[in-house]
A and B are shown apart, each in its own frame.
Chain A
Amino acid sequence: MNREDWRDRLIDGLLREIVGGEMPPELSGRVLAEAFPAARPRRVRRAAWAAGIAAAIVAAVCIFALWPRYPAPRAQGNYEVTEGGRVKRGAVLTTKVGEAELNLGGYATVRMTPQTALQIEGDRFAEAVYLRRGEVLCNVAQERGTFEVRSDIGVVSVSGTQFSVSILEEEGGTDMSAKRMMVKVMAGAVLVAGTWGQRALYAGDEATVPDAGPLAAVAARDAAEEGLPDGLKGFSGQVRGVVTAKGDRNTFDFKVGRLLRTWKNNKAENPELIVGRTVLVAPRWAKGEDGKWRPVELHVAFIRTLVVGQELTLEIRNPELDHFAILELSEEQRVMARRSAETGASPERDREGVRPKEGGDRTRSSPEREQNLRIRNLEKEIERLRRENAELRRLLESRR
């Protein structure tokens, strides 16, 4: 190529630009992106990553250090740990002449009286002791975890209460049959269970199992309640009490603590007799569209949600014989029942809101609140009937 050729190429290129519009492209953005920002963000990103990782490590260390750890078993007082070692799960603690106090999980305090031996068992939030001999006085905070006192005789399960458990031994007797367990409940409720059966005990109750001593008195009292006194027949009213046992056929035992009110259709001459009694409660029966009598499904579903130890307010009546039937459920109880019916939820699967606890339960509602709910329900019913009435009128007019 000579100068002539280069000149020709120069003009050729410029004509492409002037006539053909092939203008030199704008490349400054590309160049700068490559020359400057490409380097800076990489450094920044690297620094940011490093800072992030460092912050995460520091946060993790802080969380680990500051996270409230589950307290290990602690003991104080005059005690010994059998076979030495420290107080820990599995250790056997004994007292001789003095007393000791054991704290488990930060929510269960076990006072060991003299001459007591126990082994620390259980797990996090499910604390337990195995009482070998002697007596323990327990104080368990509410809604923190479960607690059990286990023994050869049975298990005392609680979830927030004060009680004591003593192992009673016959003189000279060392075999199982010679042992009994005395349970005193100062507050709340406990469930005592063993091979001999199970029983719920409440504040003020005292029982020895298995024996015919104080327990026999309880049993006798229950036996006496098997027959309904004449003054209570035809009862219809609202009561508050505790579920003490669940039956096989959609029934439950209900220990009545208070009589809240009686309804107009109450025929019991002495409704106050119901207070302190344990009554058998069943669902109400209703005639179906096919003319057959069946238990009300909502009541059955509601009974399914109940757990032993649960406190609740109930509207019941004595239709016949010695048992009682549910009259109406409160709005909250209906919601629970519907939820149970829809989801198949049972206390075993879903204990939320039905854990026995001192001073009330989650289904509890004051009489005033229940009355308000009843009024609201009636208003809804009236509104529904009005709508149906209007619909029927429209239908009639359209036919005319």
Chain B
Amino acid sequence: LNRDEFEAVVVTHQAEVYRYVRYLGAIAATAEDITQDTFLAAIRRTEPWEKLDERSRAAWFRGIARNLFLQSCRKAQRGETTVDPTHLQDAEATWKEEFLRGGDGFDYLEALRHCMELLPERERQAVALRYRERASRKQMAALLELSENGIKSLLRRIRAALAECVNKRLALGDAR
């Protein structure tokens, strides 16, 4: 690949690789480094990966990123991630089957945005506090008159509801 072709590949896949590494449990800075190293490792490889289709390339990049993430975890040993390497197969399966669904995850994101609008007011308030305002559980507990564990359970319930909504919505779309 020449410079322009390689640049096109990076622009196409960088968001997914970064998102994936964050999904695995890396902090933002580590995710940036691993994303960069993933593409650098790819261009230095002798395998003819440039002949793969976009989805196969994405899977190949995820494989490199996963390995780099595991290396990073072993090097750091700081517990910055809660991922158990033995369970990465589940992580990959969830990513591939639920998020990508044969695409690039765009549909999942759109469905998620739609599902958020359907949330009841209290749940929407909780999502805003947690993700927009970056409030701590303690702060949220004070505002929503819940315990910290109650906040943890609430957020988990919201996420599960959103996932179910998205799955239903995407399943409906697939059916149509």
Which residues on A are within 8 Å of B, measured CB to CB?
1-4, 6-22, 24-28, 30-32, 34-36
Is A14 touching B90 in the complex (CB atoms < 8 A)?
Answer: no
Inter-chain CA distance A36–B11, complex, in Å, is: 15
B143 at the interface (CB under 8 A from A): no
Chain A residues whose CB sits within 8 angstroms of the CB of B95 once the complex forms: 6, 10
Cross-interface CB contact of A18 among B7, B109, B156, B159, cutoff 8 Å: B109
Inter-chain CA distance A28–B38, complex, in Å, is: 12
The residue on B at minimum CB distance from A4 is: B160
Is B36 touching A1 in the complex (CB atoms < 8 A)?
Answer: no
Instruction: List 13 additional A-B contacts (Cβ < 8 Å) besides A6-B91, A21-B132, A25-B18.
Output: A2-B90, A6-B95, A7-B98, A7-B159, A9-B25, A10-B98, A13-B23, A19-B128, A22-B28, A26-B14, A27-B36, A35-B3, A36-B3
B84 at the interface (CB under 8 A from A): yes
Q: How far is the CB of A43 from chain B (nearest CB, A)?
A: 15
Inter-chain CA distance A212–B93, complex, in Å, is: 126
Which residues on B are within 8 Å of A, measured CB to CB?
3, 6-7, 10-11, 14-16, 18-19, 22-23, 25, 28, 32, 35-36, 39-40, 43, 82-84, 87, 90-91, 93-95, 98-99, 108-109, 112-113, 116, 127-128, 130-132, 134, 156, 159-160, 162-163, 166
Q: How far is the CB of B62 from chain A (nearest CB, A)?
A: 14
Inter-chain CA distance A13–B116, complex, in Å, is: 14
Q: How far is the CB of A346 from chain B (nearest CB, A)?
A: 71
Q: How far is the CB of A26 from chain B (nearest CB, A)?
A: 8
Is A1 touching B113 in the complex (CB atoms < 8 A)?
Answer: no
The residue on A at minimum CB distance from B22 is: A13
Inter-chain CA distance A20–B130, complex, in Å, is: 9
Report 19 cross-chain contacts, Cβ distance below 8 Å, ordered by A residue: A1-B84, A3-B94, A4-B160, A6-B94, A6-B95, A7-B163, A10-B95, A13-B19, A14-B108, A18-B116, A19-B131, A24-B16, A27-B10, A32-B7, A34-B36, A34-B40, A35-B3, A35-B39, A35-B40
Inter-chain CA distance A32–B1, complex, in Å, is: 12
Cross-interface CB contact of A1 among B16, B91, B163, cutoff 8 Å: B91
Inter-chain CA distance A28–B10, complex, in Å, is: 6
Supposing A20-B134, A25-B32 touch, asked if A31 and B10 sit within 8 A by C-beta, the answer is: yes
Chain B residues whose CB sits within 8 angstroms of the CB of A16 once the complex forms: 131
Is B159 touching A8 in the complex (CB atoms < 8 A)?
Answer: yes
Chain B residues whose CB sits within 8 angstroms of the CB of A32 once the complex forms: 3, 6-7, 10
Inter-chain CA distance A32–B15, complex, in Å, is: 16
Supposing A20-B132, A28-B10 touch, asked if A8 and B39 sit within 8 A by C-beta, the answer is: no
Cross-interface CB contact of A11 among B7, B82, B162, cutoff 8 Å: B162
Chain A residues whose CB sits within 8 angstroms of the CB of B159 once the complex forms: 7-8, 11-12, 15
Q: How far is the CB of B46 from chain A (nearest CB, A)?
A: 15
Q: How far is the CB of B161 from chain A (nearest CB, A)?
A: 9
Supposing A10-B98, A20-B131, A27-B10 touch, asked if A3 and B32 sit within 8 A by C-beta, the answer is: no
Is A27 touching B83 in the complex (CB atoms < 8 A)?
Answer: no
Supposing A19-B127, A28-B10, A32-B7 touch, asked if A14 and B112 sit within 8 A by C-beta, the answer is: yes
Chain A residues whose CB sits within 8 angstroms of the CB of B127 once the complex forms: 15, 19
Supposing A19-B131, A30-B36, A31-B39 touch, asked if A10 and B7 sit within 8 A by C-beta, the answer is: no
Q: How far is the CB of B81 from chain A (nearest CB, A)?
A: 10
Chain B residues whose CB sits within 8 angstroms of the CB of A4 once the complex forms: 160
Inter-chain CA distance A14–B98, complex, in Å, is: 13
Cross-interface CB contact of A24 among B18, B83, B84, cutoff 8 Å: B18
Chain A residues whose CB sits within 8 angstroms of the CB of B25 once the complex forms: 9
Supposing A1-B90, A27-B32 touch, asked if A11 and B112 sit within 8 A by C-beta, the answer is: yes
Please name the 4 residue pairs, one residue from A and one from B, whose CB atoms are nearest each other, closest first: A19-B131, A24-B15, A6-B94, A24-B18
Inter-chain CA distance A27–B36, complex, in Å, is: 7
Is B7 touching A19 in the complex (CB atoms < 8 A)?
Answer: no
Cross-interface CB contact of B40 among A17, A25, A31, cutoff 8 Å: A31
